[in-house]
Chain A
Amino acid sequence: MVGTIPPMVHGFRKRELAWIYLGSCIVGASATGTLLSLLGGMVTGWRGLPFSAVALASGGAAVLCSIRELNLLPWPLPQFCRQVPSRWRYTFPPAMSVTLYGLSLGVGLGTRIPFSTLYFPLIWAAASGRPYLGAWCLALFGLGRGLPVVWYSAIKTDTHSIIHGISILRPLVQLVNGVILAIAGSGLLSVALRWR
């Protein structure tokens, strides 16, 4: 992704493409949240799961994911290992390809999941059983996915420097994800055990 999206937006020097990408990411992510919470709602009769069950499931998942992100036990994630096709950059007009990239990356589940942190809000969206909560929760995934690209599109450096800068941050990003997942997981597990 780091090699496709920033050149797509930054290379054209058009900030409106970055905003289109951001909007598409939010729409795609909200669609995922809505769909998951609809499924969860149908299963639970539109009431959602009891809080202690959600806390136990998401807390346990977060601890497992933190173990993975901190490289203690690199277990494989259930995911599709596809990437967005780079040929879209050449076969579609810029606005169309940016929209397609935004929608497909915003959905989040059809392509490779780089950090297991995404599973946490997916569990909450499904467990809530309320489509507006699922859409709101996952919309922030789309916002997070698109906002850095908007920011990079405004930077006045060359594209290769941006790509290099993003790539060297990956170990730090992984560490931050691992620690935050450990905090979330242990917090939710202790809450679930306290309130059961």
Chain B
Amino acid sequence: MLVFGGLIGTVAGLIAPSGIAWKGGLIFSAALAFLAGSSALSSP
């Protein structure tokens, strides 16, 4: 799973246009923030 995710991420990183740097990163981190928040309910 780590290799699979790593391959997808590396390909995406290599083809990503340079103009989306900060904006893309912040949108992605906000999406990960939502994932972190919604995952937390499953913790004991």
Number of A-B residue pairs at CB separation under 8 A: 171
Does A179 count as interface, using CB distance less than 8 angstroms? yes
Contact in complex: A183, B5 (CB < 8 Å): yes
Does A95 count as interface, using CB distance less than 8 angstroms? no
Contact in complex: B36, A117 (CB < 8 Å): yes
Give the contact-size bracket for chain A: 35 or more
Q: Is the interface of B mostly helix, strand, loop or mixed?
A: helix
Which residue of A2, A63, A182, A188 contacts B44 across the interface (Cβ within 8 Å)? A2
Chain A proximity of B10: nearest CB distance (Å): 5
A-B contact pairs, 10 of them (CB 8 A): A1-B44, A137-B30, A144-B34, A146-B37, A169-B42, A175-B1, A179-B4, A181-B5, A188-B9, A191-B21
Q: Enumerate chain A interface residues (CB-CB to B < 8 A).
A: 1-3, 5-6, 25, 29, 48, 51, 54-55, 58, 63, 66-67, 70, 72, 105, 112, 114-115, 117-118, 120-121, 123-125, 128, 133, 136-138, 140-149, 166-167, 169-170, 173-191, 194-195
